[in-house]
């Protein structure tokens, strides 16, 4: 079905949009100009993300302005002004200093969305250490892979998560020296290398001078999944702040009085770039909700907290679409000015539903862990073409390309599919995959960064998502690498081989489905299927584990021994098998 463009006549925006005229802003845009808007550290000591996000405002008229408004799962809430956030993050930086944690050392976090997580993130950046957030619904295996690959030195977590998931891994993580429990009671004994964070924070000084920081110093490490191999750690630097700021301005359209809510967890890149950094760089109030998705709670939060700019994801929107009636008839959404979505394709009907049921269309945008910030977007002032990701952000050059034996060729013609490519040079571009130089190098060719996504561009310059070029799975907006899931399943004594695919699902986009062949002598059956589902959940956590398991006598393999996930998927969907010339004979 074709959806008509949603036009935005002049004056349709309640406040004048930061990007009034796309062409003019793009033409006049330069990163130097954005850079010039930041003061940098005092005395020319460089450029530090946390200074720009917190201390700069704490030293200004924004000192008493609310920086973080954190809603607890149980209904309690914590409010921190920019002045208070400055003190708390100073204390955290001093805690790290006291532990001898320094420049470039990796500080991981594995907690829910509690204030300590946000304080730890910004305090770590102040100390010029590297912040690496993990999703708390990960099971022990994904946690181990990331802590180990990221050379974790410090882990900020809760008692429950530590004892349940991390303590049994400790012997295999020799570089993990300090575990800081956000709920650790001061007088409790926590075991060697485990301490109460509140006790350390209380004892730490509220004053901290940020050490010299180079814009290219490593600031953040975000793990992302690949088609092959284990997760890779994308390295981001302090200068990424320029991108967070520019997109906060031109895409999110932040204005000083906004209450901004990004529903993503900092364990995924959106939850850090936009759930922590962009709003704070703009000095606005950043709302955080510890609780997981709950339609009624979310709509109540939008209404009662007077959220003006909301950044969420297609899975959540599709869940809201299932509610009977139209939310705006039950909730006062009058403060809401703009809705944005990212993470997976946003169905055109969701864009239109937003307009009807929430009173505003939904603005889709596109980016990925490697890009560190939004690259392609629908803008407040511009027509929305439902189903399109929008147009490149000012300062970003995007193209549809083809890889040919002669090199990368740009596809100029509108409507032709190819790989989405970006011209390197934007400030939040990842600077490497940690310890995997070759893997990083392979992402670039002929002056382009190749995103691995397939797209087309229309004659008006809008980009349309077509699909991913690999076997990567997007489930509820989260990237899951099939290899990681297969590896965990193969550790079960009954499993001979496993092939994992994303099976289309109307709400969560794709669900993780595993095909399993069993070792000789093992019989498939309901009890074993359940056991394997439980095994997967225990190992991988609910965010990553397969939701469906199917037994097969043999899995299709290439002659070189690789499981043909593509064929498993085609069969699952009842589609033609495609090229099977490399298929080994199946019995």
Question: Contact positions toward ligand AMP, by CB under 6 A?
Answer: 224, 269, 342-346, 364-366, 368-369, 389, 451, 453, 465, 468, 474, 479
Distance, CA of 378 to CA of 380 (rounded, Å): 7
Other beta carbons less than 10 A from residue 578's beta carbon: 10
Nearer to ligand AMP, 343 or 502 (CB): 343
Q: How far is the CB of 288 from ligand AMP (least distance, A)?
A: 19
C-alpha to C-alpha distances, 431 to 54, 375, 440, 464, 484, nearest whole angstrom: 24, 16, 8, 27, 24
196/378 with CB nearer ligand AMP: 378
d(CA 557, CA 575): 18
Nearest approach, Cβ of residue 513 and ligand AMP (Å): 19
Contact 274, 311 (CB under 8 A): yes
Minimum distance, C-beta of residue 253 to ligand AMP, in the bound complex (Å)? 17
Angle of CA points 199, 205, 211, to nearest 5°: 120
CA gap 358, 295 in Å, rounded: 13
Question: Which of 56, 363 has the CB closer to ligand AMP?
Answer: 363
Q: In angstroms, rounded to a whole number, what is the distance separating the alpha carbons of residues 455 and 452?
A: 10
Q: Which is nearer to ligand AMP, 105 or 344 (CB)?
A: 344
Other beta carbons within 10 Å of 145: 18
The CA R_g of the chain, rounded to the nearest whole Å, is 24
Distance of alpha carbon 267 from alpha carbon 566, whole angstroms: 29
Taking the complex as a whole, the smallest distance from the CB of residue 207 to ligand AMP amounts, in Å, to 37
Burial of residue 500 (CB within 10 Å: 0-12, 13-18, 19+) is buried
Nearer to ligand AMP, 124 or 368 (CB): 368
Please name the residues in contact with 523: beta carbons below 8 A apart, sequence gap of 6 or more: none
Nearest distance, CB of residue 148 and ligand AMP, angstroms: 20
- In the complex, minimum distance from the CB of residue 370 to ligand AMP, in angstroms, rounded to a whole number: 7
Residue closer to ligand AMP by CB (options 85, 408) is 408
Q: For the CB of residue 222, give the shortest distance to ligand AMP in the complex, in Å.
A: 8
Toward ligand AMP, which CB reaches closer, 385 or 474?
474
- Measured from the CB atom, is 54 or 376 closer to ligand AMP? 376
Which residue, 55 or 453, is less far from ligand AMP as judged by CB? Answer: 453
Shortest separation between residue 160's beta carbon and ligand AMP, angstroms:
26
Angstrom distance (rounded) from CA 183 to CA 174? 24
Quote the strand ranges of 2-75, DSSP E. 66-71
Cβ nearer to ligand AMP, comparing 331 with 464: 464
Please give the Cα distance from 571 to 70 (Å, whole number). 46
Residue 19 C-beta: closest distance to ligand AMP, Å: 18
DSSP 258: -
H/E stretch holding 278 reads helix 278-281
Chain length of the chain: 587
Which is nearer to ligand AMP, 398 or 516 (by Cβ)? 398
CA gap 557, 394 in Å, rounded: 45
Q: How far is the CB of 229 from ligand AMP (least distance, A)?
A: 15
Q: Give residues with Cβ within 8 angstroms of 500, minimum separation 6.
A: 473, 482, 483, 485, 486, 489, 512, 513, 514, 515, 546, 565
Find the shortest distance in angstroms from Cβ 113 to ligand AMP: 18
Residues in Cβ contact with 35 at an 8 Å cutoff, skipping those fewer than 6 apart: 242
When the beta carbons of 121 and 389 are compared against ligand AMP, the nearer one is 389
Q: Name the residue nearer to ligand AMP (CB basis): 204 or 346.
A: 346
Q: Which residues lie below 8 Å from residue 540, measured CB to CB, with a gap of 6+?
A: 138, 139, 141, 142, 484, 485, 488
Residue 352 near residue 387 (C-beta atoms within 8 A): no
CB 467, min distance to ligand AMP, A: 8
Cα–Cα dist 190/444, whole Å: 46
CB of 224 to ligand AMP, least distance (A): 5
What distance in Å separates the CA atoms of residue 359 and residue 345, rounded to the nearest whole number?
21
């Amino acid at each position: 079905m074709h959806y008509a463009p949603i036009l935005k006549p002049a004056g349709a925006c309640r406040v004048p949009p930061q990007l009034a005229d796309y062409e003019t802003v793009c033409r006049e845009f330069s990163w130097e100009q954005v850079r010039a808007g930041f003061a940098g550290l005092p005395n020319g000591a460089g450029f530090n993300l946390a200074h720009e996000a917190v201390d700069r405002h704490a030293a200004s008229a924004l000192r008493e302005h609310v920086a973080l408004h954190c809603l607890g799962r149980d209904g309690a809430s914590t409010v921190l002004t920019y002045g208070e956030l400055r003190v708390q993050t100073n204390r955290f930086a001093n805690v790290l200093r006291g532990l001898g944690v320094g420049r470039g050392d990796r500080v991981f976090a594995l907690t829910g969305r509690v204030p300590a997580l946000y304080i730890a993130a910004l305090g770590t950046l102040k100390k010029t250490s590297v912040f690496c957030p993990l999703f708390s619904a990960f099971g022990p295996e994904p946690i181990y892979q990331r802590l180990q690959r990221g050379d974790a030195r410090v882990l900020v977590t809760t008692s429950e998560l530590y004892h349940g998931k991390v303590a049994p891994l400790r012997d295999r993580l020799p570089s993990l020296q300090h575990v800081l429990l956000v709920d650790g009671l001061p007088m409790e004994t926590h075991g060697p290398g485990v301490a109460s964070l509140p006790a350390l924070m209380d004892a730490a000084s509220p004053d901290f001078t940020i050490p010299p920081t180079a814009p290219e110093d490593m600031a953040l490490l975000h793990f992302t999944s690949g088609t092959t191999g284990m997760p890779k750690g994308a390295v981001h630097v302090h200068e990424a702040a320029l991108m967070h700021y520019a997109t906060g301005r031109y895409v999110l359209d932040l204005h000083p009085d906004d209450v901004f809510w990004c529903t993503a967890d900092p364990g995924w890149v959106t939850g850090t770039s936009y759930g922590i950094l962009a709003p704070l760089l703009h000095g606005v109030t950043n709302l955080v909700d510890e609780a997981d998705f709950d339609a009624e709670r979310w709509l109540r939060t939008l209404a009662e907290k007077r959220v003006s700019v909301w950044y969420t994801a297609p899975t959540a929107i599709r869940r809201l679409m299932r509610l009977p009636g139209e939310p705006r008839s039950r909730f006062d959404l009058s403060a809401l000015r703009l809705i944005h979505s990212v993470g997976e394709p946003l169905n055109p009907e969701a864009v239109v539903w937003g307009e009807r049921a929430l009173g505003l269309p939904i603005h889709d945008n596109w980016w990925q862990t490697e890009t560190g910030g939004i690259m392609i977007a629908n803008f407040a002032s511009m027509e929305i073409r439902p189903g399109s990701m929008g147009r490149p952000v000012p300062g970003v050059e995007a193209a549809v390309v083809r890889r040919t034996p002669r090199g990368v060729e740009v596809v100029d013609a509108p409507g032709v599919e190819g790989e989405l490519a970006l011209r390197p040079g934007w400030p939040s571009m990842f600077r490497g995959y940690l310890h995997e130089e070759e893997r990083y190098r392979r992402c670039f060719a002929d002056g382009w960064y190749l995103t691995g996504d397939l797209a087309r561009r229309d004659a008006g310059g809008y980009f349309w998502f077509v699909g991913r070029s690999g076997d990567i799975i997007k489930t509820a907006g989260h990237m899951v690498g099939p290899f990681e899931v297969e590896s965990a399943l193969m550790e079960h004594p009954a499993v001979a081989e496993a092939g994992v695919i994303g099976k289309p699902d109307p709400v969560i986009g794709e669900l993780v489905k595993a095909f399993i062949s069993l070792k000789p002598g093992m019989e498939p059956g309901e009890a074993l299927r359940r056991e394997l589902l439980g095994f997967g959940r225990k190992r991988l956590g609910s965010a990553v584990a397969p939701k469906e398991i199917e037994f097969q006598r043999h899995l299709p393999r290439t002659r070189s021994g690789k499981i043909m996930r593509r064929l498993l998927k085609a069969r699952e969907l009842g589609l033609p098998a495609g090229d099977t010339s490399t298929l080994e004979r199946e019995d």
